[in-house]
Structure 1
Amino acid sequence: MPATGTPRKRERHDMFLTAGSTRAKRWKNRLKWAVTLSGAGLLLFSLTYGLDKSDQLASFVCGLVLLLSGFQLFPFRGPGPGVEAILPDLRKDIDEFWRKERRARGLAGAELMPIRLRTAGTSGHLAVEHTGAPVWPSHQYAKDVAALVTDSTLTRAVIHGPPGVGKTTFAIMLTSGVVRGDTHVPLYLSLASWSPGEERFHDWFDRQVAAAYPSLRALHPRNDTLLERLAIDRIVLILDGLDEIRGPVRTDALKKIDEAVDRDQSLIVLTRSSAQLPSLTGGSVLVLERLEAEDAAAYLTVRLLSRVPATARTAVRRLCSALRTGAVPDMAEMLRTPLYLDLLCRAAERDEDVPTRFLDAVERRGADAGKQLLYSTFVDQALRSRLGGSSRRLRRARRWAACIAFEMSRAPAASRTLAWWRIYERVPATVFGAATALAVAPAYRLCLLMPPGLTRGFAIGTVTSFVLGACRGVNTRPAAPVAALASAASVLVVGTWLLDGRQAVVDACEIGAAIGLVFFFKSELCGRWPACAGAVLLTGMASALAVYAANAVLPPGTAPARTPVGVLLAVVTGVAIAALAARLLTRPGGPLRPSTASLHRRESLGLPLRPVFTATCAASAAGLGGAFVGAATQGLQHGLHVGIVFALVLGPAIGLPVGLIAWLNQPGRLPSASALRTYEHDRALAWLCFAGVTTTATATQIALDGLVQSWIDRLGDSSFTAQPVHGLLFGMTIGIVVAAYNTAWPNYVLCITWFAARRLLPWRFIRFLGLLHECEILRQEGPLYSFRAVELQSYLAATHAPARGEGVPGPHSDLPEQNRGTGAPTCGPTLR
């Protein structure tokens, strides 16, 4: 059972697990040494008596496998550090991240508006109120609100208020104040990325905190979740944006949170006011009130009068006078909301005419006109401050921001957060089908240089691997016809150039049918083993039938005909090995996620032998599959030849970079994650995969030519000769597949190319998101982005008039949802 309840119960649970792990270590060590000594003895025997026979070569390989297995197949993992042990590092990560975010949001050293926080149902009692000067220094704000937690005034509470009252600012300053102390550690999360109807709160919480604070992965949750492991009195959960959960399930969201979080856990939930006021078991309900008109006027006086030119002070005094006297009720009502008051001050500090224009707009056309003026001025000023005076660049950036806001506001079931690695959910599935031609062409060209055992089956298996890796989370079934046609056309072009037309048509029918069915059966290939086996068999049978039909229809030619049995064997082997490798190296049935591997130094990582060995075995399966097909079709000697060359080339080439990435993915002391840092790490690891596989394959092929050529000569098979250039081409092809398995960057490059070619997004999309964040139009919560205010997002969305069928990345969700995209302008599933 999970360790829940009091800290004493959790401590006893950890002690029990530690004792069990210590007992298990004894017999595992004995078994490890027994297997290791057996493998070493077999290896020594093989080296002593020579390697001139194939059975001795098999003994050599078997001994090598046993030697590696003894060390790595029985690893011992300790219980991992406790929660208290990682709290100092976690506190440092939180403090570093929110220090940068406060600067990005303009809160560092800012003069903030006083707040009024009272207990609901009372009229006079205030839980906290700053009654000093009309402005509140940010450091004092953080200190005062953090005192509510440290003195146990605020333990379990729901804080609500009208739109724009400053709930998010309150949550951020509360987080900043608490983390500066030495008693509590706050965890701030935005609920906008949670879909209660589709995901448990435990699962969402674990994913979000692990993405934002990777050091928490060091807890190694066993049967319990991170939420349960963090259920200690020193952890304070601050959940903002309950109102941003859309759909009919929003009313039940707080109930699910209440049931999931331990009763002794400090929990603060912020939301907009609603008719049905939510509550927590054993908690209180607080109201964050808007400013009084007198407070707003005093704030304007202090902040603006001394900062604007003398020519604009008259307009500021008119504003303050109208606020105090209530001469313009719409303006007084609007400026009582801190959001609009802050926007007015920011705009007036940069443009002295704003107060006059704002007052005239409200007097003539009402409050809505004043809001539109503030939004437009804020966006234009923020973008101009970063882009300079170029009107063209300003219009283009504004259009892109409006497109993003429009798509993030479209679907009622969508959240309001955006992640760069999930933009594929707004890409039609047919785009991935058409892009298959780019992967088929080099794979087919390479297979024509290979021996018969690794030709069409290798090309089909390689492209299948790319589809299973790069299309994680994508519903590829609607794109099956497009993928089949694109693959067949690519094979026809390459085959007609290098071969005769009849053979090119036969190969196009075989590969096109196989790739089309891989797209159609992708979910089955990633699902349960019986369904996967059935999909593999049906794909092979359909390809064999396509080849038989093509041979029957086409006139006889000089090119060798493909037999149905050989085609069935090659296709089944290629697709089966690709599905097996995908399952061993990644999670093809889950959503696309960026790599969490990091090159930062961590302690107790151990040696990378086990992940390298696992990846090597998975990769060598492709060479062994080719050996099996080659032996069945060309004879035993040819099959052994293929197995020796390609298993030894493929295994180390893929095993080394993939194993290192898996090793670097282990939990440890990692800095807090941001969108840019996540993107840069993922891109670097994608290039590491590509370069590592290419270099290792080429070097291994060169080494094989010098070391084992005499073994191959004794086999008496002269059907082919592997050259270093083959290792280079082989490594480049497989390197792209490995990068697609381990990172989200290849998928992102394909998607952003489609968007940028249609002029819907900039090529450097991640930099544009960073620009909007620097302009305070977007806010960042871990690796996710959202708009600063829902009202600002709605304004930008209203200014966008998309063309027919136009779409841009919409609101993101990190759920294992499939892409519904078919090119229609309706928003797809939530992207988080």
Structure 2
Amino acid sequence: MARRRIALMIGFVTLGGALTWLGIHFAQVGWDAADKQSSVLGGFSGLGGIVLAIYGIWQAVRQQLPLTMENLTGYLAESVQREWNAEVQIRQLNGTPWISISWQPDMTTQQWVDLLSVTPGALDNPSGSAPDAHALAGETHKIVEVLDRVPGRQLVLLGERGSGKTTLLIRLLLDLLDKREPGAAVPVLLSLSSWIPSREGLKSWIASEIARSHPVLGISDRRRNAHSDNYSRAQALLDQGLVVPLLDGFDELPPGLRVKALEEIDKARLPGLVLVSRTAEYELAVHGVRGATPLAGAPRICLDPVNHSKAAAYLKFGMPSDLWAPVITHLASDGPLARVLKVPLYLFLARSIYMPRGDREANPRELLDQRKFSNEQDIAAHLFDGYIDSVYGESAGSPNQWTVRQARRTLAFLARELQAAGEGGDIKWWQMRTWCNPIVPGLIVGPVAGIGVGLAFGIPAGLGSLKEIGYDPGISEALRAGIPAGALVAFFATALAGGVITLREDPGTTMRWSPARFAGLMSVGGLLGLALESLGVIFQAGILAGLALFAPSSIARGVATIGPPLETSVGPITVLEQDRRVFLMIAAIVTLASGLPLFATFLALGDAIGGLYFAILLGLFNGLRVGLKATAWLPFLSVRFYFALCGRAPYNLMTFLADAHRRGILRQVGAVYQFRHIDLQRHLVAAPNFLNR
């Protein structure tokens, strides 16, 4: 990837240099002599452009060829399975036993009979349904069987904080994928924290979330719905019942939205669904719904605390025989430690913290110190802190890594910004610009752009590269050329990046062009040329002026996103690289498209120096303007530098996030990161001393 970027940069620099030389050469030989030479060059350029256009159209058409539903479900299933197999390994579930979580149905026998009686076909096929409500009880490895025994394949999974709801949902997801037949529905695990049910229906939100994580499924498919340009492949899968949403984090929605969320979930009438929530929050939302009870056809199962024998078996697995003996003896009591270790989350943290590693001595006996840990809150805080210490302490001081103190500071900063921004649990790099004053990106982008343009003007002037066309070189001329140009670009760049234009709210991926808008551009340029000719200005200058004025807007409106190839795996870093590539391409194309016609116009009017000056200014201004509207990379780059300057986060923030994901602090959901557990995020927010440690 680095070689490709270097080659692309070299190509653009070479092209810019060649075009500059060509302009100077035409100015020397005169317009009449240049006319014949430019005709020959134009012919070859036109042939090259046709070849590139045909290739681009072929690529776009190839990306949008109609795929069968079996192709699309197969792609989605493979992508989801690959993503969550990696996530399970990162969560240290491979090679470690799953914590055995049991549950009980939260319904009476009569309620189960009533449910069967109102479910079409349930009584006609008794072998496919549970004989009574008690048959829905089970343990971790039987969760997929429970879903299969519910006639409507809808289930509500309830539990307390840290009770293992998400872990059980991951197990269900993987089991469903393992038993899935070709062409069958695909389970997709989604976090409800980013859904705003008052603005968007459930199916529309699910389609957009799937498209965000799997851009191939976000491509518009008018063959399946000719009445909508925004009807995506993901929406088509949902409409045909080929997606089974596993919805986690209902309790993470704001309290004021939970009733509306339940109504929208019920209204969606999905053929398969699992909803996960804490018990109290779900019950409160159900009681707040007016009219019929939502999700009446979805049985509720409630997770049980882990009993002491299962907790002991989990702690002892693969450990030295005497390591956990004193703690295990204490599990049968009713003390604070025993109550904490009935929660699967804290059970996992305890095992991770006191796992023997190398020469490090593990001592879980300290958990029995009642002077240090007098209540459950003290123990829970110690386990969270110890988990961060354990995963970052191993590599502290090693190259390209972070100390425990740096990690604590950055994680606390991320947690607090997420809470302040009200964005649920999603760490979206493209929205980090909203974490600071809107003028900050402009104050960083502007001076950098100004210095770059100032050097671009000043160095050629100082070296005498413009002497041939009558421009007297020297230090004073370099300053006279560079300072005003750099100052102007710095001012405009500061204004643009500082919020004068509406910045893009989500990242771009790749570009697609609209031939109709380019045809309109040529028409406008031609009309402007006729108007200028009638005023005594030569016709060719009018055409070029039309191109210079309308090319940037036409390109900006013609840019769209296209999903990557089917085999491409999408993640936060991949999306960032795609967005950066799109910005560089758009900025370069728009700069040339608006600068070269203006330069040629001034050449035709006999002012090569003025043409070069204004072509660079207008070209860079338009390139930056269109690039900022079409991508999110440059504002993120600026705020990343700002956060590092303020000591809130490392400059290589994306590397830190990817490393935190690898260590199990964060989890990856499509193109975003989330804290592995919402309680860890809340603990970081509530720990004011983290920034000072």
TM (norm. structure 1) is 0.59
Give the one of 727, 743, 747 matched to 2:631: 743
How far is 1:745 from its partner? 0.7
Residue in 2 aligned with 1:348? 354
How far is 1:443 from its partner? 7.8
- Relative to 1, partners in 2 of residues 1:262 and 1:154: Cα closer, same or farther, differing over 3 Å? closer
Q: Which runs of 5+ in 1 are unaligned?
A: 1-50, 53-59, 131-135, 449-493, 524-587, 599-607, 805-832
- Relative to 1, partners in 2 of residues 1:361 and 1:346: Cα closer, same or farther, differing over 3 Å? farther
How far is 1:757 from its partner? 1.7
Residue in 2 aligned with 1:775? 663
How far is 1:190 from its partner? 0.6
8 Å CA contact retained: 2:336, 2:374: no
Residue in 1 aligned with 2:315? 300
Structure 1 CA distance, aligned partners of 2:254 and 2:428?
18
1:421 aligns with 2:322: no
Q: Helix, strand or coil for the counterpart of 2:158?
A: strand
Deviations 1:168-212 (A, max 9, x none): 111111111111223341111110111223443344222211011
8 Å CA contact retained: 1:191, 1:240: yes
Residue in 1 aligned with 2:408? 398
Corresponding residue pairs, total: 582
Deviates further, 150-159 or 167-176: 150-159
Residue in 2 aligned with 1:331? 337
1:215 aligns with 2:216: yes
- Relative to 1, partners in 2 of residues 1:346 and 1:768: Cα closer, same or farther, differing over 3 Å? same
- Relative to 1, partners in 2 of residues 1:803 and 1:332: Cα closer, same or farther, differing over 3 Å? closer
TM (norm. structure 2) is 0.70
Residue in 1 aligned with 2:6? none
Deviations 1:210-262 (A, max 9, x none): 01122212462644674464134442111101011124122321221211x23
Question: Where does 1:417-566 land on structure 2 (aligned, <5 Å)?
Answer: 417-432=426-441, 434=443, 435-436=445-446, 498=480, 522=501
Structure 2 CA distance, aligned partners of 1:748 and 1:678?
13
Deviations 1:728-761 (A, max 9, x none): 7765554444432332111211221222221212
Structure 2 CA distance, aligned partners of 1:148 and 1:307?
33
1:262 aligns with 2:269: yes
8 Å CA contact retained: 2:441, 2:635: no
1:236 aligns with 2:244: yes
Counterpart AA for 2:91: R
How far is 1:295 from its partner? 2.3
Question: Where does 1:168-187 land on structure 2 (aligned, <5 Å)?
Answer: 168-183=166-181, 184-187=185-188
8 Å CA contact retained: 1:89, 1:669: yes
Deviations 1:634-690 (A, max 9, x none): x523x85264378379959996x997x74x716863534211211122223333334
Structure 1 CA distance, aligned partners of 2:496 and 2:627?
23
Counterpart AA for 1:262: R
8 Å CA contact retained: 2:426, 2:672: yes
How far is 1:778 from its partner? 1.1
Deviates further, 227-236 or 401-410: 227-236
8 Å CA contact retained: 1:82, 1:219: no
Counterpart AA for 1:215: V
Residue in 2 aligned with 1:286? 301
Q: Helix, strand or coil for the counterpart of 2:274?
A: strand
Counterpart AA for 2:335: P
Residue in 1 aligned with 2:325? 317
- Relative to 1, partners in 2 of residues 1:214 and 1:76: Cα closer, same or farther, differing over 3 Å? closer
Structure 2 CA distance, aligned partners of 1:690 and 1:118?
59
Structure 2 CA distance, aligned partners of 1:794 and 1:786?
12
Counterpart AA for 2:389: D
- Relative to 1, partners in 2 of residues 1:730 and 1:289: Cα closer, same or farther, differing over 3 Å? same
Counterpart AA for 1:768: F
How far is 1:799 from its partner? 2.4
Residue in 1 aligned with 2:385? 376
Q: Percent identity?
A: 23
Give the one of 541, 549, 552 matched to 1:641: 541
Counterpart AA for 1:97: E
How far is 1:626 from its partner? 9.2
Residue in 1 aligned with 2:95? 109
Counterpart AA for 1:688: M
- Relative to 1, partners in 2 of residues 1:654 and 1:513: Cα closer, same or farther, differing over 3 Å? closer
Structure 2 CA distance, aligned partners of 1:798 and 1:244?
17
Q: Helix, strand or coil for the counterpart of 1:237?
A: strand
Structure 2 CA distance, aligned partners of 1:495 and 1:128?
84
Q: Helix, strand or coil for the counterpart of 1:365?
A: coil
8 Å CA contact retained: 1:649, 1:727: no
How far is 1:336 from its partner? 0.8
Deviations 1:426-470 (A, max 9, x none): 12123245455665787899999xxxxxxxxxxxxxxxxxxxxxx
Q: Helix, strand or coil for the counterpart of 1:125?
A: helix
Structure 2 CA distance, aligned partners of 1:122 and 1:379?
44
Q: Helix, strand or coil for the counterpart of 1:405?
A: helix
8 Å CA contact retained: 1:214, 1:671: no
Structure 2 CA distance, aligned partners of 1:522 and 1:732?
16
Question: Where does 1:783-798 land on structure 2 (aligned, <5 Å)?
Answer: 783-798=671-686
Question: Where does 1:651-800 land on structure 2 (aligned, <5 Å)?
Answer: 651=551, 662=560, 665=562, 669=566, 671-691=568-588, 717-720=605-608, 734-800=622-688
Give the one of 585, 594, 619 matched to 2:507: 594
- Relative to 1, partners in 2 of residues 1:443 and 1:783: Cα closer, same or farther, differing over 3 Å? same
Q: Which runs of 5+ in 2 are unaligned?
A: 1-33, 36-42, 110-132, 287-293, 459-475
How far is 1:380 from its partner? 0.7
Structure 2 CA distance, aligned partners of 1:422 and 1:214?
19
Question: Where does 1:91-170 land on structure 2 (aligned, <5 Å)?
Answer: 91-121=77-107, 125=134, 127-130=136-139, 141=141, 144-150=142-148, 152=150, 155-170=153-168
Q: Helix, strand or coil for the counterpart of 1:215?
A: helix
Residue in 2 aligned with 1:272? 278
Structure 1 CA distance, aligned partners of 2:523 and 2:686?
55
Structure 2 CA distance, aligned partners of 1:621 and 1:497?
41
How far is 1:722 from its partner? 7.9
Q: Helix, strand or coil for the counterpart of 1:148?
A: helix
Structure 2 CA distance, aligned partners of 1:712 and 1:683?
33
8 Å CA contact retained: 1:213, 1:671: no
8 Å CA contact retained: 2:388, 2:404: no
Q: Helix, strand or coil for the counterpart of 1:268?
A: strand
Deviates further, 425-434 or 399-408: 425-434
How far is 1:519 from its partner? 7.9
CA RMSD, 1 decimal = 5.1
- Relative to 1, partners in 2 of residues 1:690 and 1:361: Cα closer, same or farther, differing over 3 Å? farther
1:89 aligns with 2:75: yes
Deviates further, 343-352 or 356-365: 356-365
8 Å CA contact retained: 2:640, 2:653: yes
Residue in 2 aligned with 1:29? none
Structure 2 CA distance, aligned partners of 1:109 and 1:519?
50
How far is 1:694 from its partner? 6.2
8 Å CA contact retained: 2:188, 2:246: yes
8 Å CA contact retained: 2:548, 2:593: no
Q: Helix, strand or coil for the counterpart of 2:273?
A: strand
Deviates further, 512-521 or 667-676: 512-521
Structure 1 CA distance, aligned partners of 2:492 and 2:349?
59
- Relative to 1, partners in 2 of residues 1:777 and 1:521: Cα closer, same or farther, differing over 3 Å? closer
8 Å CA contact retained: 2:440, 2:498: no
8 Å CA contact retained: 2:510, 2:562: yes
Give the one of 367, 391, 400 matched to 1:358: 367
Structure 2 CA distance, aligned partners of 1:354 and 1:625?
83
